Structure 1
Amino acid sequence: MKKLFLSGLLALLGTGAFAQTSAGTISLGGSLGLYSGSMDENTSERKTSSYSISPYVGYFIKDGLEIGINTRLSFNSSTTETEGSGQEFKTKSFGYGIGPHITKYISVTDKLYFTANGGFGLSGLRTKNPELDEELISTTSGYYIAASPGLTYFATTKLGFSASIGNIGYVSFTSTDKQAQPERETNSSNFDFNFSPATATLGIRYFITR
């Protein structure tokens, strides 16, 4: 997939990208994230696979500075196996988020730009047990403030490809244990510094210039 992506960038040679980041330009697009991995947790092992899609729309309020609305939908499945027991516990999760963002474009070459992205918004997560008629295990809702670095390559005057990994931010959320009797809520907040492969995304953008 990486080779195909890079081949596409090299094949789609176009003119300079200045018009694409000038005031008045509208950008439409989205990004995709994929992850699969495992983690040892004391006497158990957790295997996780996930993917996310993030459509968005943006508007350049001045040259090199974009504001817009970003949304995110994520899907996650995990299997936890306790050592020596042969037992597995499976979960499936659906997450969502929406909020405004701001992006600063800094020229590296006439086609390649470094991007500094920042935003905040609301998010939520629903976790179910797929082996018990999709029984709801827990729900989570809260808000986030985050910043992340990235790169955008302008392949043509209308088309750009983006890549990003990592984020720095603050999250605050409330989790509800739906299996407890009575239901139990837990409030949490923390600063997050995460540059793991699970945060990597690839995206495509279409620019409508004046």
Structure 2
Amino acid sequence: MQKLLITAALSLIGATSYAQTIIKAGTVQLGGSVGYSQQSNDNSYNYYTGTSYLNTTQHAVYKSFSINPMAGYFVADNLAIGLSVAQNNSKTAYSYDSPDIAGGDQRNSQLNLGAFVQYYRLFTDHFGLVGTLNAGYTHGTSTSTYASGGSRGTSNGFSAALTPSIVFFPVPKFSIGASVGNVGYSHYTSKIESDNNVLDSGTSNGSSFGAGFGISYLTFSGTYYFGR
């Protein structure tokens, strides 16, 4: 029994070692990811009628769609570098239980042009993990529309994100991946122009760092490998 266990362990180690190098240097990959999310929130909302404050419920519905084509080259076994383009569009619509308050919405569009480093850790010929570090230039636009007025904004800056994902190979030349969020940093300069004095106008600088994981961040990807 002991010899059998030792033999099985050595076979597993050998299989794992082989699987770790099945994507050879010189391989070219072409693929990308798409993602869609929708969230709904209900919050208590106080508003001023002109004579007193009343309480109602605010309903917010957030929808987001993203697409991210990528092309890369394996400079070493399981290690690829490449270029990527990412486009994300989102909309948040607001409505209220009170007929005295008109609804509104906020729309955002963001374009990212960048480069990435990607490392594969394959446990079998069909399954593994992938870590992707992406960094690049970001340009965004936003519009807000309410009964009291609206605003338009632009932003430019730098962003970077580390995204872990799982990967499955149904065939050697094609993989399917899935991720549920990332750890990211961004630094930006934004400018807002308001239609009236209700909303603030001006230019601001800011930065953010944080992690977002969960089913609402679910993204699927597909990649084809040339020369594998």
Which category describes the TM-score, using the shorter chain as reference length? 0.7 to 0.9
What is the CA–CA distance in structure 1 between the aligned matches of 2:22 and 2:71, rounded to whole Å?
14
Q: Which runs of 4+ in 1 moved over 4 A?
A: 16-20, 129-132, 180-183
Confirm whether residue 120 of structure 1 aligns to residue 122 of structure 2. Answer: no
The 1:146/1:22 distance shift into structure 2, 3 A limit, reads same
TM-score (norm 2): 0.76
2:87 to 73, 79, 95: 73
Give how far 1:108 is off.
Answer: 1.9
Query: Percent sequence identity over matched residues?
Result: 25
1:196 alignment counterpart: 214
2:115 to 81, 94, 100: 100
What is the CA–CA distance in structure 1 between the aligned matches of 2:20 and 2:121, rounded to whole Å?
11
What is the CA–CA distance in structure 1 between the aligned matches of 2:178 and 2:60, rounded to whole Å?
28
What is the CA–CA distance in structure 2 between the aligned matches of 1:174 and 1:166, rounded to whole Å?
24
Give how far 1:103 is off.
Answer: 0.8
1:7 alignment counterpart: none
What is the CA–CA distance in structure 2 between the aligned matches of 1:203 and 1:196, rounded to whole Å?
17
What is the CA–CA distance in structure 1 between the aligned matches of 2:214 and 2:69, rounded to whole Å?
22
The 1:184/1:104 distance shift into structure 2, 3 A limit, reads same
The 1:27/1:19 distance shift into structure 2, 3 A limit, reads farther
Gaps of 5+ in 2: 1-17, 46-57
Partner secondary structure for residue 178 of structure 1: strand
Moved more, 181-190 or 152-161: 181-190
Q: If you compute each CA radius of gyration, which structure gives the higher value, 1 or 2?
A: 2
Structure 2 counterpart of 1:59, which letter?
A: Y
Kindly indicate whether structure 1 or structure 2 has the higher relative contact order, using CA contacts under 8 Å at least 6 residues apart.
1
Give how far 1:159 is off.
Answer: 1.2
2:191 alignment counterpart: 176
Task: Give matches, 1:1-210, under 5 Å.
Answer: 21-40=23-42, 43=45, 44-82=58-96, 84=98, 85-129=100-144, 137-179=152-194, 183-209=201-227
Give how far 1:129 is off.
Answer: 4.7
Instruction: Decide whether the 8 Å contact of 1:17 with 1:157 is kept in 2.
Output: no
Structure 1 counterpart of 2:202, which letter?
A: R
Give how far 1:202 is off.
Answer: 0.3
- What RMSD over aligned residues (CA atoms) do the two structures have, in Å? 2.5
Partner secondary structure for residue 87 of structure 1: coil
The 1:149/1:36 distance shift into structure 2, 3 A limit, reads same
2:49 alignment counterpart: none
